[in-house]
Amino acid sequence: MSHLSVLRTQFRERETLIEVLSELGYPINRSAGQKISAGRRVRRVEFTISPPYSAPIGFQPAADGYRMIADWFLVQLERKKFTAELRRRYAYRLALKTLTEDGFALVEEKRDDSDRIHLTLRRVR
């Protein structure tokens, strides 16, 4: 059964999103005119990733954040696990980027038993 699903996200920073997807090991295809299709439904996307042995996942910009578009029946990833890890790493990267732009430097990073990250920062200015 083919079915395109469109998931709204809060990912607004294109380069941070691409950086995180690369960090997770997914090759990124940025060629122009890409489409994700399932049956007769077709959606244009800005870029795609191709998980191993899987249908591609497309990313399409929108006013409130990127949309993830895929036929999740053919994607060989657990959707909730994939999106949770993507959100976690995106938030981490964006927080570090924003804080360093605001004049802070990372002093220490710790992870607790529940895999939460605790950052200690110091203002450099």
Q: What is the mean pLDDT of each run of 10 residues along the chain (125 residues)?
A: 84 95 95 86 93 93 95 91 94 91 90 86 83
Considering the domain boundaries, does residue 100 fall inside one?
A: no
- Residue 119: strand pairing partners: 109
> Which pLDDT belongs to residue 39?
81
70 and 6 Cβ atoms separated by less than 8 Å: no
Q: Could you tell me if residue 125 is inside a domain?
A: no
SS3 89: helix
Cα–Cα distance, 89 to 101 (Å, whole number)? 18
How many separate domains does the chain show? 1
The pTM assigned to this predicted structure is 0.86
Q: For residue 38, what are the domain limits?
A: 5-94
Residue 124's pLDDT is what?
Answer: 79
In a domain, 120, yes or no: no
Residue 113 lies in a domain: no
* Residue 64 belongs to some domain of the structure: yes
Residue 124 lies in a domain: no
What does the pLDDT read at residue 43? 92
Residue type, 120: T
In the block, tokens 């996200």 appear at 9
The answer to whether residue 51 is domain-embedded is: yes
Judge whether 36 lies within some domain. Answer: yes
